[in-house]
Amino acid sequence: MAFELDEVRRLTGPNLLSNEPGAIIDVFFDNVEAQVVIDCWQKHLYHCQVSLGSEYTWPSNYYDRHYKGGASMSISAPMDLLYSACDLIELAWDLCVAELSVGDNSECSISMLPRLAALKETIVDERHPQLLELMRQAQAHDVVCLVDDDEISLGMGAKSDTWPIDAFPDPQSVSWQQYSTIPLALITGTNGKSTSVRLAAGIAKAASLSAGVTSTDFIKVGDTIIDDGDYSGPGGARLVLRDKRTEIAFLEVARGGLLRRGLPVQFANVALITNVASDHLGQYGINTVEEIATVKSMVSKAIPQGNDFTKGMLVLNADDVLLVKESEKLHVPICWFSENEHNPQILQALSQHHPCVFVQNNELVYSDSEQVIIAAVSDIPMTVNGTAKHNIQNALGVIGLTKALGICNDDVLSGLMNFSSDASDNPGRGNIYEVNGITVIVDFAHNSHSMQAVVNMASSMPAKAKHVMFSHAGDRSDKDMLDVAKAVSALRPNTYVLAEINKYLRGREPNEISFLVKEHLLTTGIVEEDIILASDPLDGTRKIMDRAVVGDLVLLFVLDDREKVQTLLTGK
């Protein structure tokens, strides 16, 4: 038998295994049944808690999820003892491994005594009853309370206050009525998340609202970018919701953040799931696309349960078979969107007078108590005259999202019309340039599903010849990489440029990915002269532009050096 500890981490919000904060441990093993491992771990967890004594433990629930070759096991814990909970479940794991490996746990039981003593000290140091009391009072007064290692806040946006974690007021002195919430939306999905939060923010701006936005690219309030980087987790959410300029919030919620920490907030007015596709399989025990759908649907935990559309809503893609299937497990109000007015989910919503969004006669239609035409598809800039089918779906989803937040039709239309697929409105997503008579598309797409969507758009655009550059991160499987190559090949380009990204090798050797893809292309009949290797995306852009001529189309999938590529193309 072999055992490996993958990760121990805190869960600060509702998560895949439960609706409670706590700690989780991810482990790998072979030649032993998962239930045997889980039962052994829980046994030692119980014994550790008994050994600690009631003074150093807390009421807790256990949760587990097993999969081929591993398991995730968690324990609930109060917010002030999450680090102690991590130490506790790791100690139980070490005892479990000792028993299952050698069958005799006596020596390990003795050696655990110093660790139990150290854990008692940690619990004493970490305990913060005043913090828990403030959180309880906030809940009793229906006030949002956000907590992290450094700060605690009450309320959201303009009606919020934030204090250092060791200097907040006594709950009895708090004027609870001064704190309130703001309209709040969560956006997730395999592809289209960043475009959706940016478009939603544009619609909010048209409604004269200052939108706080978190995304995998930046964190932003109104027109001010607070910082660049991946802020799709709870940390970014807290920054935006504590900013007094924020009047409405759109939080991009990525798979990694959901699995690492759980939901960034306990409650949202609306959540949007754009789609589900194969990406990041094999991480945190998520090995199938169906399991990804379950992870994405975690955002529904922030929506009030029941059938009351006035209390909250989940906006779902009715054209995504996996989401339709996943919806059967959910018990929240759903607003469906679809490119097909005859989609069964749309027809059912119409018959029940429930909110839905769909395409009819090449127009985007929102329906609730009555049907309203929002805009013609071809008039919306981000659809590129209707060729960008993925952006039609993004627009549909965001219409459902913003209507659920009470934004009027005129402001929704204004936001759609003023949002373009350019580097200012939507950097790295379908940006189109004209360079010396050559049409250039720059996109961040990095999995076969999203790349196929961009390829479909490019296929509809006339050109003398077409050329494409793409890359891949090393932590994907060989199959994932070849699926990307197959998606690109559907464009039937005259040139394939394979660009290395050294900082994304992630365990692969230099040029390993490019050689793998090149070999595949050669086996499909692509001649070697049409395959070019590049040291990075900027080098690849130079090489592909040298080959293109007036009337050609160049498609650049740029996963790194986007600003440098943009400067090369625009000269500024």
Residue 124 has pLDDT above 80, yes or no: yes
Choose between 330 and 430: higher pLDDT. 330
Number of domains in the chain: 4
| Domain boundary pick from 127, 147, 165 | 127
108-126 b/e (C-beta count within 10 Å ≥ 16 → b) = beeebeebbeebbebbeee
Assess whether 347 and 212 both reside in one domain: yes
Residue 6 has pLDDT above 60, yes or no: yes
> Which stretch of DSSP H or E encloses residue 18?
none
Order of all β-strands in the sheet with 363-367:
224-228, 218-221, 211-214, 248-252, 184-188, 270-273, 313-317, 334-338, 356-360, 363-367, 371-376
Query: Residue 315: inside a domain, yes or no?
Result: yes
Assess whether 123 and 138 both reside in one domain: no
Assess whether 487 and 364 both reside in one domain: no
Assess whether 73 and 107 both reside in one domain: yes
Which structural domain, as residue segments, surrounds residue 487? 431-570
pLDDT band per the 50, 70, 90 thresholds, residue 502: confident
Assess whether 172 and 109 both reside in one domain: no
For residue range 437-462, list pLDDT tens digits in order: 999 999 887 777 788 888 888 988 89
Find tokens 């000290």 and name the residue: 121
List all residues 6 or more positions away from 328 whose beta carbon is below 8 Å from its beta carbon. none
Q: What confidence score (pLDDT) does residue 109 get?
A: 61
For residue range 344-401, list pLDDT tens digits in order: 999 999 999 999 999 999 999 999 989 999 999 999 999 998 988 999 999 999 999 9
Assess whether 37 and 110 both reside in one domain: yes
| Domain boundary pick from 417, 440, 471 | 417
Assess whether 202 and 160 both reside in one domain: no
Q: What confidence score (pLDDT) does residue 108 get?
A: 58
List all residues 6 or more positions away from 107 whose beta carbon is below 8 Å from its beta carbon. 98
Q: What is the pTM of this model?
A: 0.88
Choose between 522 and 422: higher pLDDT. 522
Q: What confidence score (pLDDT) does residue 150 get?
A: 94
Average pLDDT in the chain: 92
Assess whether 257 and 388 both reside in one domain: yes
Q: What confidence score (pLDDT) does residue 520 get?
A: 92
Cα dist from 380 to 179, 200, 396, whole Å: 39, 14, 11
Assess whether 282 and 324 both reside in one domain: yes
